[in-house]
Structure 1
Amino acid sequence: MKTILDISIAINKNASSEHLFGLLKNVLVQDLGIGRFVFISFDKTWQIALQEGLNENQISEINIDSIINQYDDIDVLHSSTETGTNKFEIVVPVFHNKKAFAYLLLGDLQGEKVEISPIIKHLKFIQTLANIIVVALENKRLYEEEIKQIAIKKELEMAQTMQSLLFPRRLPNNKKIEVKAYYRPHSEVSGDYYDVVQIDANRTALCVADVSGKGMSAALLMANFQAHLRAQLSISSTIEELVNKTNKRIIESANYEKFITLFLAIFDAKEQTLTFLNAGHQPALLVSENKIVELKKGCTVLGMFDELPKIESETIALPNHSKLICYTDGLTELEDENGNQLEVEGVANLIDSYQNLKEIKTRLEKRIKEAENKSAIDDDITFLVAEFLR
């Protein structure tokens, strides 16, 4: 009873695993006179946590896989030289919630045969001690993991708040241009991005981008990309120059480990033109005069090549009330009940009969909601719709 009390006091004082294993070792060696044992426990992987009476070679010969999941109660060990268990006579498994968490192998039982050794009557006591220690360590591990998860969640929530500040707080709605946007991250933070930047009195930049991958690393790269893009918009003489500089910046930041797809367009209200460049992104859709045109011209993705192999922009004259729809692949990859993806053609069909910008946004949002109700959506979804006025 004193031994159990000592271990309980140590557990209540949040003693280390080394201290608790030391108490178990004292009981086995000093109190019970067991000359040889190995304590195999599970902590992410199966490993030998404690041993007595073995040299390094004998320890390395023990085949842990030959022991685990073969014994569900105290038993005579089926020892073998091939598995390194020939130095032991008894196995004491330790279970918690019907799951094996440890195995104690006992040998050199004061020189007695297993059947007549006085240790036999103490096996349940040994098993109880080991169980108390293993359960305490498992509970401690779960508690520490919970604390870690809470900290990670708080960090992600803070990152989510910070990332939300990257998006424009107000979208243009004036006599020259009207813009609406939708953003749905898959998790707390996202690799999707959209932006609307007033370059000068006449020019407005519209951008939708997508970083490869998800999570914090994608969000950090996107934040870096956003800061660079906004700085370059006012000083780059051409859209090609801007994209080339951005490509180099992404390589510096991500070292070829991530890439960004980008659709960037600059609306000139004075000239009534749209200059765009598509860097490996989903084709934006331009709706004008009852026609839908896919905007594909540009270059490959950014962040993979030191020099972009081919890069070209295009400038289009805009009839009044032309509309632009740009989006990330989370939208085109939405699936119906048969598993068929929406794709670019499906997006075009959705917006074809709608002339009002609000109606277009509402129809796309409805399609996303339908997909959510049928199956889980495992990607970020972003789209931006704009109408150009005179």
Structure 2
Amino acid sequence: MRISNIFFDRKFAINFFTTIVMLIGLLSTYQIIFINSTSNDECLWYAGKNSRGEWGIVIRDVLPGGAADLAGIKNDDMLLAINGKMVNNAFDAQKILDKLDYGELAEYTIDRNGKQLTVNVRVKKVLNYLDLSYNIFLLVWLAVGYLVLISNPTGIVNVLFYLIGFLGVLSTTRGAFIDRFVYLNPKFEVPEWYFYPWIVINSFSAGVFIHFFLRFFKKGDGLYQRYEVYVNYAIVIMVSIYAIIDTHLRIIAGGGNGTGVQPDLVFTILHMIAYNFGLISLIVGTIRQWRSPEGVPLRWLTGIYILGFSAMVGVAFFAPRNNLIFYNNPEFYLVLLTLSLIPISFAYAIFRYQLMDVSIVVKNTILYGTVTVMVGVLYFVAIYVVGQMIGNAFGAEYRNFVALLSFVIFALAFKNTIERLQDLITRRFFPDQYSNTQILMGYSEELANIVGMENILKSVSRTFKDLILVKKFALYLSEGDTFTLAADFGVTDRREKPDSSISELEPRYNFFLEEGKDKVITQKSLEVFIGGDASWVTSENFPLIIPLKVNRKITGLMFLGEKLNGRPYAQKDIDSISSAASQIAVSLENARLYEEETKKVQLERDLNVAREIQESLLPGSFPINENIEIYGRMVPASHIGGDYFDVIKVSDSQFFLVIGDVSGKGLPAAIHMTRVQAMLRMLCTNDRTPSVILKELNRQIYSSLGKNWFITMTLIGLDTDKNCICICRAGHTPVLISQNGRTDFLQPRGLAVGLDKGDLFDLHLEELKLELQPGMSMLLFSDGVTEMMNPENELFGDERLKAVFNEFNGSSAPEMYEKLSEQLSNFRRDREAYDDETALFVKIKA
């Protein structure tokens, strides 16, 4: 994908801009809590007359025991100056006081009964809880709106719901940053153009709020009419134009009068209209749909909206009439946090009742988000409560330190709490919307990174319980000649050891396979068990038993109960589970080896076993066909290697030949190749070409392969009925082919798997199609063959390989491999191999 196209991707743009605005909003919240706190002397100032009829700033409502009272200030004193600066109004006085830090002394010049006095008042700081509550409310709305929008970026209601939070958060940043800066630094001149974006944002945030409630109800319900949206935005545009003109005139006049009403008052009225419109819309919609299924969520949505709206109106009404209470106890403003319940209730309604067009996939995400923002609200409240408690206990001088310490402690607690709540939700709401194939392929990738027998067993049980959604599960692993229960859930009659031993079950199972039956055991094939095992399987109702095999030996049995949805296991389910079982078997065996290693078992023994496991994953025998002869080997440079080849038989006439090389060696490379083998065996079907298979493999493995890993690969599709061969090369060595007396290297274009997410890989992948001809022969090889070096540092090279291929072309495929191996050994002599050597010969018989 081009860089320029990334920013036009809808979901990328949503993630990018939401992250930016969320960070700005959090910074604004931090500004309100720790920087923009207001100075408080615990008394009130009034512009008016005192008891003697003198005009000025009158001090009243002095809080007993407060800062002003301790400094000796009395009710009815006149405030003349602060720190030597004359004050003409309460605004100027507050501006001077706000420049002082917590605990500093402010020198008040006061007039008491005609006498001037000077007193020192110790300044306190209080948070602007009104701004803080509104900030949290909009941040919560933005977080919930993001979850709603990301599920359906094209839904108009989803977009509007998101924009309410997005524009709201942007609108609050002006007060936290520029307005506060200008307030404390009046000589700073803000460019005129800076105010215009906030004017537009303020206007349109109210318009979007109204638009959302117009569209929240279906057409014909609630207050929705065809032209109301246009009228709504026409009013918003007119308000924006008025506010821009008025601001321009006020700036020209040096802060004087504009056209009349101040823009901030206009915005306040506009937003109150919007909030009232939302309330009326909910009430009308609830009444009209009272008896419908949507009536239940609408009733409690309306109730929560009324609760938050009442808190906002209550504060607006009572605060001016109870200045002393609210000024000296600003935490009463925290009642406005009930506003945050509004977006949370919408989110729950979306999850529980699907009131909006939100896909089922995002349900759990919304629930996680709801829990997150609820804990986030509690987080900010807890910071204040703990800070106040400890600050009061240890004194004012420790208050800043306490605030910082509280922030750190609760940040750690916040993350841990979220993780625990999300785990609880996951156990209750199972993500059954994905197919078993997607789940198990993703789990196979995850399994390679899980270390330890106990962790693997827990992971396997959790996967089948929470994702595959089976009612019961039992996993038995080999221990000597018996099976021992390793993990289970939901089993009624728990058996630690089955009656069937490995030596008894394995011959029966192999005979069972030789008869052409499936590799899995079902209720129809319980004859492989002896004793009471068959009756136990029947009574527990295990419809599917998967043998775990390593090195062609049974190492365990996996019993699966019915699925929770009651549906039978389809062939696609069985294929996916079988492929995952192969990876589980290898992972369990690797874990077993790891445990042996921790018990100081010889490292050489462990690696030899691992090599046998890897060799067991390679073809032990090759398909027998009267027209085709196939033979190959892989010789690792160390005990285990990163090369891989396979022959996948799709039908009697159709085969896929694959050879690959991971960019590395040893155990990590072998694990990656194990994953690739499992994926290819699922992807290779008779309706897919090599190019289609490689493209799908690259898409599935790209994100989990790792930054420094890639896989070169050649995949050949061979069809004797159609008499054709298709060759596709993903960055691997060329294919050496001999036909009609001519030998050439075929090198179709292609990038290695895992280097690109998909676009470039698909673009450069080339597929060649050739006709099968009698006498044709091919050699697929790894770079460990041609790049082998002798003691003189000479490469074996393409020409030597071509010469050996031509010299022994008349031999059978096994003989050709043996001759090539002999030539390589003679060339290398006593020099140690540094790369895996893999070769696969294919001959079309005459």
Is 1:344 equivalent to 2:795 in the alignment?
no
Which of 669, 688, 702 does residue 251 from structure 1 map onto? 702
CA distances 1:157-199 after superposition (whole Å, capped 9, x unpaired): 3322221221111113431211111221111211011111111
Q: Which amino acid aligns with 1:370?
A: N
Residue 205 of structure 1: aligned partner: 656
Q: Following the alignment from structure 2 to structure 1, what is the Cα–Cα distance between the partners of residues 686 and 708?
A: 28
Q: Which amino acid aligns with 1:360?
A: M
Residue 177 of structure 1: aligned partner: 628
CA distances 1:263-301 after superposition (whole Å, capped 9, x unpaired): 111111112211010110110111112111212114111
8 Å Cα contact 2:659/2:781 also seen in 1: yes
Which of 382, 387, 390 does residue 843 from structure 2 map onto? 387
Shift in Å at residue 340 of structure 1? 1.6
Shift in Å at residue 217 of structure 1? 0.5
Which of 827, 838, 845 does residue 371 from structure 1 map onto? 827
8 Å Cα contact 1:221/1:253 also seen in 2: no
Residue 776 of structure 2: aligned partner: 322
Residue 289 of structure 1: aligned partner: 740
Residue 278 of structure 1: aligned partner: 729
8 Å Cα contact 2:796/2:827 also seen in 1: no
Residue 231 of structure 1: aligned partner: 682
SS of corresponding position for 2:820: helix
Residue 356 of structure 1: aligned partner: 811
Q: Following the alignment from structure 2 to structure 1, what is the Cα–Cα distance between the partners of residues 600 and 704?
A: 28
Q: Following the alignment from structure 1 to structure 2, what is the Cα–Cα distance between the partners of residues 150 and 176?
A: 48
Q: Which structure 2 residues correspond to residues 77-226 of structure 1 after superposition, within 5 A?
A: 150=601, 152-226=603-677
Shift in Å at residue 236 of structure 1? 5.5
Q: Following the alignment from structure 2 to structure 1, what is the Cα–Cα distance between the partners of residues 600 and 769?
A: 50
Residue 712 of structure 2: aligned partner: 261
Which of 788, 796, 804 does residue 334 from structure 1 map onto? 788
Change (3 A) 1:198 1:235: closer
SS of corresponding position for 1:304: coil
Change (3 A) 1:249 1:152: farther
Q: Following the alignment from structure 2 to structure 1, what is the Cα–Cα distance between the partners of residues 836 and 769?
A: 30
Shift in Å at residue 238 of structure 1? 2.4
Q: Which amino acid aligns with 1:198?
A: K
Q: Which amino acid aligns with 2:843?
A: E
SS of corresponding position for 1:299: coil
8 Å Cα contact 2:689/2:717 also seen in 1: no
CA distances 1:296-349 after superposition (whole Å, capped 9, x unpaired): 114111111002141120101122021110111110012245322112222111
Shift in Å at residue 244 of structure 1? 0.8
Q: Which amino acid aligns with 1:227?
A: A
Q: Following the alignment from structure 2 to structure 1, what is the Cα–Cα distance between the partners of residues 784 and 806?
A: 20
8 Å Cα contact 2:790/2:828 also seen in 1: no
Shift in Å at residue 201 of structure 1? 2.5
SS of corresponding position for 1:262: strand
Q: Which amino acid aligns with 1:389?
A: K
Q: Following the alignment from structure 1 to structure 2, what is the Cα–Cα distance between the partners of residues 352 and 235?
A: 33
Q: Following the alignment from structure 2 to structure 1, what is the Cα–Cα distance between the partners of residues 682 and 749?
A: 21
Shift in Å at residue 361 of structure 1? 1.6
Q: Following the alignment from structure 2 to structure 1, what is the Cα–Cα distance between the partners of residues 603 and 640?
A: 12
Instruction: Answer 1 or 2: which has greater strand percent.
Output: 1
SS of corresponding position for 2:764: coil
Q: Following the alignment from structure 2 to structure 1, what is the Cα–Cα distance between the partners of residues 767 and 707?
A: 24
Q: Following the alignment from structure 2 to structure 1, what is the Cα–Cα distance between the partners of residues 701 and 603?
A: 26
Residue 50 of structure 1: aligned partner: none
SS of corresponding position for 1:378: coil
Larger radius of gyration: 2
Indicate the structure whose relative CO is greater, using CA pairs within 8 Å and at least 6 residues apart.
1
SS of corresponding position for 1:314: strand
8 Å Cα contact 1:181/1:385 also seen in 2: yes
SS of corresponding position for 1:386: strand
Q: Following the alignment from structure 1 to structure 2, what is the Cα–Cα distance between the partners of residues 249 and 156?
A: 29
Residue 510 of structure 2: aligned partner: none
Shift in Å at residue 352 of structure 1? 1.1
SS of corresponding position for 1:340: coil
State the TM-score, normalized to the length of structure 2: 0.28
SS of corresponding position for 2:708: coil
User: What is the percent sequence identity of the aligned residues?
Assistant: 25
SS of corresponding position for 1:352: helix
Shift in Å at residue 259 of structure 1? 0.5
Aligned residues: 245
Shift in Å at residue 374 of structure 1? 3.5
Q: Which amino acid aligns with 2:679?
A: H
8 Å Cα contact 1:190/1:218 also seen in 2: yes
Q: Following the alignment from structure 1 to structure 2, what is the Cα–Cα distance between the partners of residues 221 and 256?
A: 13
Which of 295, 298, 302 does residue 753 from structure 2 map onto? 302
Q: Which structure 2 residues correspond to residues 49-88 of structure 1 after superposition, within 5 A?
A: none
Change (3 A) 1:220 1:147: closer
Q: Following the alignment from structure 1 to structure 2, what is the Cα–Cα distance between the partners of residues 162 and 187?
A: 14
SS of corresponding position for 2:691: helix
Q: Which amino acid aligns with 1:223?
A: T
Q: Which amino acid aligns with 1:386?
A: V
Unaligned runs of 5+ in 2: 1-596
Change (3 A) 1:236 1:262: farther
CA distances 1:106-149 after superposition (whole Å, capped 9, x unpaired): xxxxxxxxxxxxxxxxxxxxxxxxxxxxxxxxxxxxxxxx9777
8 Å Cα contact 2:634/2:839 also seen in 1: yes
Change (3 A) 1:364 1:151: same
Q: Following the alignment from structure 2 to structure 1, what is the Cα–Cα distance between the partners of residues 599 and 649?
A: 42
Q: Following the alignment from structure 1 to structure 2, what is the Cα–Cα distance between the partners of residues 173 and 370?
A: 32
Change (3 A) 1:265 1:338: same
SS of corresponding position for 2:717: strand
Shift in Å at residue 154 of structure 1? 4.4
SS of corresponding position for 1:374: coil
